[in-house]
Amino acid sequence: MKWIGALLFIGTTTWIGFEMSKRLNNRPKHIRQLKNALQILEAEILYSQLSLRDAFETIANQIPQPTQSFFKALCDGMQKSGTDLASLWGKSIGKLMKDSSLGNNEKEILLQFGRTLGQHDFTQQQKHIQLTVSHLNRELEEARDNQYKYSKMAKSLGFLCGLFIVLLLI
């Protein structure tokens, strides 16, 4: 019975290590998705001159999950009358943070961008989008560094911690 419990414990800690590694590996991918979405938003606002709701719908049709659900929620929320874009943006970011592997820095960058969205003319809006993309580029580099440094370590550490604790308890 002890051995079954020990194997289950080692399996659980290994699984936790793999989940941590998965989050580290997904973070750069999710940041790239956000960058692509913002670049599409810039093109739709400047060149197609679509409304924000239509631009969000276009982005939702072109970007994979979890960013797709973020922009879909924005599009659906804007269809309802009387919805404030800033509060809708904040709620959607909260849901995006739960569904994705993004960190607090990306959340703050997106919240700052959401405060300026739709409140300026085309050229000012373009500058805000480019500033947000440059901040996301910085975070992308940090995410890649963390991925290379800690991804394999998290997998190994999960297994080794479980093994160490089992050996201490036996």
Give residue-wise pLDDT tens across range 119-151. Answer: 777 888 889 999 999 999 999 999 999 999 898
Q: Could you read off the pLDDT of 6-27 as tens digits, one per residue?
A: 899 999 999 999 999 999 999 9
Q: Is 100 helix (H, G, I), strand (E, B) or coil?
A: coil
Cα–Cα distance for residue pair 9/3, rounded to 1 Å: 10
Helix (H) or strand (E) holding 154: helix 122-169
Helices 122-169, 2-43: crossing angle, 10 deg rounding: 170
Q: What is the pTM of this model?
A: 0.86
The pLDDT score that the predictor gives to residue 82 is 64
